[in-house]
Structure 1
Amino acid sequence: MRIGKQDAPFTAICTSDAHNITVRGHDLCGEVIGKMDFTSYFWLLVTGQTPTETQTFFANAVLAAIAEHGLVPSVVATRMTYAAAPEAFHGAVAAGLLGCGSVVLGSAEVAGRFLAEVVAAGGDPLPLLKDLRASKKPVPGFGHPQHSDGDPRANLLLSLAAEHNIEGPHIAALRAISAALPQSHGRPLPINVNGAIPAVMLDVGFPLAALKGISLLARTASLIAHLQEESERPIGFIMSGAAAAAIDFDGETA
């Protein structure tokens, strides 16, 4: 039974023979290992192009910006999974990554698609913002429960973008949204890191469809760090117990 499109049986990422491994047209042993940093290799793998110095700089910057933010849900899920199944290191990492979605961690992808919509609409965000307000949906890339006065990570990324002269249509769209919020929503909202990341990455040429990969790659590094700490200073069961203690039962009893 045929399911889905099946008329393009090709891949352009990697091939190998008995003597060589070729990745995106580069000899892995001759041109990559020991010669290319991992961030540049990541960019090459995703886009098929060797990044420029500026592209590598901003890829490094955003990966560092989103990797770690304390005991957020993805970290809690990972550490609690490891506490319950210490033999499943990979499963604990996967548990954290599975929660990468539109509310936490994966929202850079949502914000990126919203910025692309604004750019496609000619740069005027007001109609789209009014639609969000009418449907009671959050504005992607704006607001933060902790950094209500401004997300320092976002502020720094946007400052670096101005310093390196890479501001393009997506950063312009981000600033246009910020300026229009008082009119559409009645108050300003700070740009958060998941607003700044797609604006910067899209303006330096990273593909929209792969934006979530930035958060996944960065957070994987952080989850491994948390698992290393969990193996030496376990808090997974403490978090589990605290969660149980924080919730009151309001169902029927026998």
Structure 2
Amino acid sequence: MVRGLDLCQDAIGKLSFTDYFYLLLTGHQATPAARAVLDATLVAIAEHGLVPSVQAARMTYAAAPEAVQGAVAAGLLGCGSVILGAAQQAGELFDAIERRTQEQSEELDRAAHVVVAEYRTAKRAIPGYGHPLHKARDPRVEALFKTSREAGAGQRYVDIAEAVERVIPAVMGKDLRLNVSAAIPAVLLGADFPLKALRGVPILARSAGLIAHLFEEMNHSIGFALSYQAARNVEYQGEVPAGFREQRS
């Protein structure tokens, strides 16, 4: 029995993995809106190219091919505030703004302005805004927002995310646009996904991406090539022993 369901009779062959994850996490069956939004976020964030966490996983597998689980773990350990973790932090930002609108009876843009200003005063980055590649909005943002609208999920946190985008130039002095790490909590919170579990969604999605990278590593290895590339791009900064002569091939 799992969450009141007979695993063999009620779950296997009856529930998708997205449905089952939602049930395990919340104890409730996913609504159609929750299912669509959660599934879309998992797809959006599963693959991200050769980011540091993926390189760590590939190099770990190259060094220890008998332990796929160790290579996956190495990649997941690299999921922090810069890569993947920003979704949780953005959700907490949106929650703070929503609570302020409720407690202070402030209109949305005013509440967003106050909370973003508090972040700036504390010298905290605004999580989920700005992207090294996408100077306009990350294209995944609109894809997720469209999925959310069409699925009938709540749009309150999408509105909050867009309010933050509007006030950032005045508060921060720069134009930072929504990226996928803000879109994920905006659509998930609108589908009643638990705030405290937001970090788990990118981790779950990236686990799938890491396994795919490692299967590729098994067949077309680049793990050691990645480590050699790092060595070629590092210049020795220490003292040079007397009489040392560098050998170049």
Which of 221, 224, 229 is the aligned partner of 1:237?
224
Of the three residues 171, 174, 194, the one matched with 1:187 is: 174
Superposed, 1:52-201 pairs within 5 Å as 52-122=31-101, 123=108, 124-201=111-188
Q: Is the 8 A contact 2:94 2:160 kept in 1?
A: yes
* One-letter amino acid of the counterpart of residue 53, structure 2: S
Within 1, Cα distance between the matches of 2:202 and 2:235? 34
Cα distance change of structure 1 residues 177 and 97 upon mapping to structure 2, 3 Å threshold? same
> Match for 2:6 among 27, 42, 47?
27
In 2, distance between residues paired with 1:59 and 1:161?
10
- 1:30-79 Cα offsets, whole Å, 9 max, x none, are 10011111100000000000001111111110000000011011111100
Q: CA deviation at 1:100?
A: 1.2
CA displacement at 1:135 relative to structure 2:
3.2
TM-score (norm 1): 0.88
Tell me, which stretches of 5 or more residues in structure 2 are unaligned?
Answer: 102-107, 242-249
Distance, in Å, in 1 between the alignment partners of 2:150 and 2:131 is: 25
Instruction: Tell me the TM-score normalized by structure 2.
Output: 0.90
**What is the number of residues matched between the two proteins?**
233
Q: For 1:36 and 1:162, how far apart are their aligned partners in 2?
A: 24
- C-alpha contact 2:34 2:153 (8 A) present in aligned 1: no
Q: CA RMSD in A?
A: 1.2
User: How far did residue 163 of structure 1 move?
Assistant: 3.2
Q: In structure 1, what residue type is equivalent to 2:29?
A: T
Distance in 2 between residues matched to 1:168 and 1:152, nearest whole Å = 18
Q: Which of 199, 204, 208 does residue 195 from structure 2 map onto?
A: 208
CA distance in 2, matches of 1:104, 1:253: 37
CA distance in 1, matches of 2:228, 2:207: 25
Higher relative contact order (CA 8 A, sep 6+): 2
- Counterpart position of 1:4: none
Identity %: 47
Q: Secondary structure at the match of 2:54?
A: helix
